[in-house]
């Protein structure tokens, strides 16, 4: 029979196309090292309490440096248990200290504690990404605090605002997301060393001391109570925090996409000299990077549902969380890390089109200043409702006849010319926008 060699190909785009520095935190090699770090910490705790020889932890720690992922996978192929495969490989290299590897622990004492270490490291990396994005948003906010543009509500022209307001708004939301992620980090940075159902029975009276010593060694906190696992509300909160970050990134990128529409074209993604927008329409300059961010946000939100369903495990635990967590944990962190990097690049290279911004401000021929006209009439003594009705009538006439609202105001002698000129100067109708922006991005 003829055999064919089939090269190993990546199935997940997060292994190649969307790969980031985050991959190294979640890959199998990193997970193995974290598992063994917990095993070493457990051995040190036993030794401190006099349960095993004082030199055993050192031997186990040296052994951990010599264990290879290949050997662990080889053992797993035989016994079909990944954690025990690590235990056996570590025991092989530990010599006479091998008898003390994994003493009194259950698999998820090791796995969940290691997951806390992994999540903590991953959140630390995201913190750096968010800080970098914050700097870009702050610069854009301050650079464009006086760049007047049309504000849109319900997809319609409303009143003038500034681009600085947009970016300062995002900056503040990013700060909230950063705070939420830090809160999630505090709650996920816990481990357990409590045995099969959380009673610590295998450690006898020293159970609480063992757990405390292990977590002190690993610089995380012990969970106050567990069953066989650390409760999954902690993990769900972390994934939800990632989804909130993704939602903000989607919000910003959706705004770029909309403002890059041919009819608007106030801003756009940068477009390199050799970049191709379409395989059939050579003129296209698609906002494909922003679209990609929006697409990935949907994936991250879907993972939240899975994380939520993992909370309600049966009795002291079942295994229904295990398989999907192998996918959603690493995938979610790599996904949001890629999105943060991509959004930071998009906003750093954002192109502004001042002529189009001005054109869109003037598109409705003064109708966007109806609010200011009404307020001015009230200030001059007219009742608020009467002023509203007068301006509404004039605005309807201007719209239906395609005329500028200011011309109707002057023809009807509603305001003197000097006052009318002031009212229809959109650049001077941004209220406290500049101060709002400056205050919003203060550190």
Kind and range of the H or E run holding 339 = helix 322-348
Tokens of 34: 């974290």
Active-site residue flag, 272: no
Task: State the Cα angle at 239 between 234 and 241, rounded to 5°.
Answer: 95
**Which of 80, 154, 315, 432 does the annotation list as catalytic?**
154
Is the Cα torsion angle 71, 77, 79, 85 positive or negative in sign? positive
Is the Cα torsion angle 181, 184, 185, 186 positive or negative in sign? positive
Please state, in angstroms and rounded to a whole number, the distance separating the CA atoms of residues 181 and 246: 12
Active-site residue flag, 278: yes
Residues in contact with 11: Cβ distance below 8 Å, sequence separation at least 6, in sequence order: none
Helix (H/G/I), strand (E/B), else coil: 264: coil
**Which of 278, 295, 427, 428 does the annotation list as catalytic?**
278
Instruction: Give the DSSP letter of residue 190.
Output: E
Give the count of alpha carbons within 13 A of 316, CB side only: 11
Q: Which of 193, 187, 226 is nearest to 208 (CA)?
A: 193
Helix (H/G/I), strand (E/B), else coil: 99: helix
Please state, in angstroms and rounded to a whole number, the distance separating the CA atoms of residues 133 and 149: 23
Q: Rounded to whole angstroms, what are the CA distances from 108 to 80, 117, 119, 209, 248?
A: 16, 13, 15, 18, 34
Catalytic residues: 154, 278
């Amino acid at each position: 029979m003829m055999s064919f060699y089939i090269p190993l190909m990546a199935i997940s785009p997060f292994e190649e196309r969307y790969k980031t520095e985050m991959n190294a935190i979640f890959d199998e090699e990193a997970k193995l090292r974290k598992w063994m770090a917990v095993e070493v910490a457990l051995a040190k705790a036993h030794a401190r309490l006099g349960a095993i020889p004082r030199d055993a932890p050192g031997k186990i720690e040296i052994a951990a440096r010599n264990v290879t992922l290949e050997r662990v996978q080889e053992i797993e192929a035989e016994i079909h248990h990944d954690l025990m495969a690590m235990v056996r490989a570590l025991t092989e290299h530990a010599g006479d200290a091998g008898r003390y590897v994994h003493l009194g622990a259950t698999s998820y004492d090791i796995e969940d504690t290691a997951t806390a270490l992994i999540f903590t490291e991953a959140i630390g990396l995201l913190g750096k990404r968010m800080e970098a994005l914050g700097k870009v948003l702050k610069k854009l906010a301050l650079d464009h605090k006086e760049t007047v543009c049309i504000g849109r509500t319900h997809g319609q022209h409303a009143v003038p605002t500034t681009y600085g307001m947009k970016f300062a708004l995002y900056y503040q939301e990013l700060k909230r997301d950063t705070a939420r992620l830090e809160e999630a980090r505090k709650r996920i940075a816990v481990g357990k060393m409590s045995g099969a159902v959380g009673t610590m029975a295998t450690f006898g009276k020293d159970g609480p001391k063992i757990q405390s010593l292990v977590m002190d060694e690993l610089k995380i906190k012990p969970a106050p109570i567990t069953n066989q696992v650390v409760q999954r509300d902690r993990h769900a909160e972390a994934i939800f925090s990632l989804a909130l970050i993704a939602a903000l990134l989607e919000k910003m990128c959706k705004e770029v996409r909309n403002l890059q529409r041919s009819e608007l074209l106030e801003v756009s993604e940068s477009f390199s000299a050799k970049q191709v927008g379409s395989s059939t329409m050579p003129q296209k300059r698609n906002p494909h990077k922003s679209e990609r961010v929006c697409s990935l946000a949907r994936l991250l939100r879907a993972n939240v549902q899975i994380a939520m369903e993992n909370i309600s495990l049966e009795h002291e635990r079942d295994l229904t969380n295990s398989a999907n967590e192998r996918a959603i944990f690493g995938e979610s962190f790599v996904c949001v890390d890629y999105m943060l990097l991509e959004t930071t690049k998009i906003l750093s290279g954002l192109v502004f089109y001042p002529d189009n911004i001005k054109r869109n401000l003037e598109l409705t021929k003064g109708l966007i200043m109806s609010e200011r006209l009404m307020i001015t009439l009230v200030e001059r003594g007219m009742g608020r409702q009467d002023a509203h009705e007068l301006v509404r009538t004039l605005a309807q006439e201007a719209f239906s006849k395609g005329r500028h609202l200011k011309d109707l105001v002057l023809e009807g002698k509603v305001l003197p010319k000097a006052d009318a000129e002031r009212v229809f100067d959109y650049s001077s109708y941004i209220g406290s926008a500049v101060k709002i922006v400056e205050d919003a991005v203060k550190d």
